[in-house]
Structures are given as C-alpha cells and as structure tokens.
C-alpha cells in the first residue's frame, strides 16, 4: 500500500503492520513529519489522492483537493533564489560590507570602477627593457581582489604599437583592504625604439 505525506507530497510504501503499530500515523521518510497515513491510503503508486477539504464550512459532499504539485514548489524556490541572487548582485558592495561586519565575507568581491591607478610611469631600463610603475588604490569601502591591468604602448605620435594584459596575480596577491594603496612594478620587454607613451586601463 502507499500513502502520501500532506507536508511534502511524497508518496511512500506502508504495510498493514506499520499502520497497526502507529495506529494509522506514519512518519514521512522525506520530511520527517508525522501524518495520518489512512487519509491518503492507496493501493497504487502515484495515484492522485483526493483529500477531504477541511475548511469548517458546510458543503455538500466532499470537495476534491488536488495536492499541491511538487513542481510548483520547485518553481517557486527557483524564482526566490533568482530574486535573492539579484539582490546580492546589484547591491554587492553593501552586502559585502554587511557580510564583513558579520565576520564572514563573500568570495572575490571585485569592481574595476572602484580602483584607481596614479603616478603611472614608463621608463626604459636597458636595451628593449622597460619598467612600468604606478600606485594602485582600492577606493571601495571593502577589501577587494586585485584587478588585471591592460597596458598599451604608443609611439611618439600616440599610435598604439604594443599591448599587454597583466594578470591580476602579477599585480598583487590576494586582496587589498579598503582605502589602501600598493605600488605596482611591472617589467616588460619591447623590441622597439620608438615608444613614446602609454595608456593603461584596469579590467
Ligand atoms: Zn513528508
């Protein structure tokens, strides 16, 4: 025989011995709630069970109630999760502050707009060798992972002649605390003699 738990809609097998032992009450194997197994007793698996409608109002006969299908619960959960994700994503700065204040953190907070690069300088350090130096400041109200740096070298007419993206791991290890600055020192080899300037951006 089968019986359906009214709390989670899960159908499970039940024997006469179990019914006798529990005096008709059964503990759900899925949600652990105890329920009246006799109310939804059935001989066939997955049969739609008709439960009496208990609304305390007089009515003729027994109104059939379709159990809430589990798929709707899953769909509702999905929608709720999406809303939560949106809330976290669009207000991640504030959420991260809250999380940090509470003693834990959201992993890898990072917003390229909250970094500033100043004192950028490109100098020649030998034949084909250049060094790019700058100061990177975290302007966010919380610590964040280092950004990657895109450096474009130009000739004396401002025309881009070389470009390189420095991975975040080359800029700094881990995270930089809120309001802190760190100097950046990057060595690069450029086999050109006409480097006249540079453009940088954080990505
Ligand atoms: Zn259940």
Q: Are 42 and 2 in contact (CB under 8 A)?
A: yes
Measured in Å, residue 79 CA sits from the centre of ligand 1 at 22
Res 27: pLDDT: 93
Q: Which domain holds residue 92?
A: 72-101
Residue 132 has pLDDT above 50, yes or no: yes
CA distance 121 to 198: 9
Grouping H, G, I as helix, E, B as strand and the rest as coil, residue 169 is: helix
Task: State whether 123 and 197 are in the same domain.
Answer: yes
Which of the listed residues 49, 69, 89 is the one where a domain comes to its end?
Answer: 69
Residue 12 has pLDDT above 70, yes or no: yes
Q: 24 to each of 10, 35, 36, 189, how far by Cα in Å?
A: 17, 8, 6, 82
Provide the pLDDT confidence category of residue 21 given band limits of 50, 70 and 90.
very high
b or e along 67-99 (b: 16 or more beta carbons within 10 Å of the residue's beta carbon)?
Answer: eeeeeeeeeeeeeeeeeeeeeeeeebeebbbeb
Residue 46 lies in a domain: yes
Measured in Å, residue 35 CA sits from the centre of ligand 1 at 8
CA–centroid distance for 108 within its chain: 11
Res 78: pLDDT: 76
Average pLDDT, whole number, for the chain? Answer: 79
Measured in Å, residue 25 CA sits from the centre of ligand 1 at 12
Task: State whether 146 and 131 are in the same domain.
Answer: yes
Measured in Å, residue 63 CA sits from the centre of ligand 1 at 23
Task: State whether 55 and 80 are in the same domain.
Answer: no
Measured in Å, residue 30 CA sits from the centre of ligand 1 at 5
Task: State whether 116 and 142 are in the same domain.
Answer: yes
Residue 186 has pLDDT above 90, yes or no: no
Grouping H, G, I as helix, E, B as strand and the rest as coil, residue 153 is: strand
Task: State whether 63 and 89 are in the same domain.
Answer: no
Measured in Å, residue 4 CA sits from the centre of ligand 1 at 8
Task: State whether 78 and 128 are in the same domain.
Answer: no
* Structural tokens at position 130: 């250049």
Res 90: pLDDT: 66
Provide the pLDDT confidence category of residue 85 given band limits of 50, 70 and 90.
confident
* Structural tokens at position 176: 């930089």
Residue 123 has pLDDT above 80, yes or no: yes
Provide the pLDDT confidence category of residue 50 given band limits of 50, 70 and 90.
very low
Residue 143 lies in a domain: yes
Task: State whether 61 and 135 are in the same domain.
Answer: no
Residue 44 has pLDDT above 90, yes or no: no
Task: State whether 15 and 79 are in the same domain.
Answer: no
HSE, CB side, 13 Å, CA atoms: give it for residue 7: 13
Task: State whether 1 and 46 are in the same domain.
Answer: yes
Q: Are 70 and 9 in contact (CB under 8 A)?
A: yes
Measured in Å, residue 61 CA sits from the centre of ligand 1 at 27
Residue 107 lies in a domain: no
Q: Are 10 and 40 in contact (CB under 8 A)?
A: no
| Number of independent structural domains in the chain | 3
Q: Are 66 and 48 in contact (CB under 8 A)?
A: yes
Grouping H, G, I as helix, E, B as strand and the rest as coil, residue 155 is: coil
If you search the block for the tokens 């499970």, which residue do you land on? 12
Task: State whether 132 and 177 are in the same domain.
Answer: yes
pTM score of the predicted model: 0.47
Comparing 49-53, 90-94, 144-148, 184-188, the range with the smallest average pLDDT is 49-53
CA distance 21 to 126: 90
Task: State whether 78 and 159 are in the same domain.
Answer: no
> How confident is the model over 53-70, as a mean pLDDT?
50
Residue 130 lies in a domain: yes
Task: State whether 30 and 58 are in the same domain.
Answer: yes
> How confident is the model over 21-35, as a mean pLDDT?
92
Instruction: For residue 154, give the CATH number of its domain.
Output: 2.70.50.60
**Local structure of residue 95 (DSSP, 8 states):** H
CA distance 92 to 171: 23
Residue 106 lies in a domain: no
Residue 181 lies in a domain: yes
Res 75: pLDDT: 73
**Local structure of residue 22 (DSSP, 8 states):** T
b or e along 161-173 (b: 16 or more beta carbons within 10 Å of the residue's beta carbon)?
Answer: ebeeebebeebbe
């Amino acid at each position: 025989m089968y019986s359906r738990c009214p709390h989670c809609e899960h159908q499970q097998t039940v024997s006469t011995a179990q019914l006798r032992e529990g005096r008709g009450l059964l503990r759900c194997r899925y949600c652990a709630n105890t329920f009246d197994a006799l109310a939804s007793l059935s001989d066939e698996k997955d049969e739609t069970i008709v439960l009496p409608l208990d609304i305390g109002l007089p009515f003729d006969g027994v109104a059939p109630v379709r159990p809430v299908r589990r798929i709707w619960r899953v769909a509702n959960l999905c929608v709720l999760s999406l809303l939560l994700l949106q809330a976290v994503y669009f207000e991640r700065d504030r959420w991260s502050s809250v999380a940090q204040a509470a003693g834990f953190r959201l992993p890898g907070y990072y917003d390229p707009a909250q970094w500033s690069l100043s004192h950028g300088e490109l100098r020649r350090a030998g034949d084909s060798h250049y060094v790019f130096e700058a100061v990177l400041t975290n302007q966010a109200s919380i610590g964040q992972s280092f950004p990657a740096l895109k450096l474009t070298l130009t000739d004396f007419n401002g025309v881009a002649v070389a470009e390189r993206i420095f991975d975040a791991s080359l800029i700094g290890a881990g995270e930089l605390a809120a309001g802190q600055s760190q100097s950046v020192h990057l060595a690069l080899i450029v086999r050109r003699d006409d480097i006249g300037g540079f453009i940088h951006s954080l990505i």
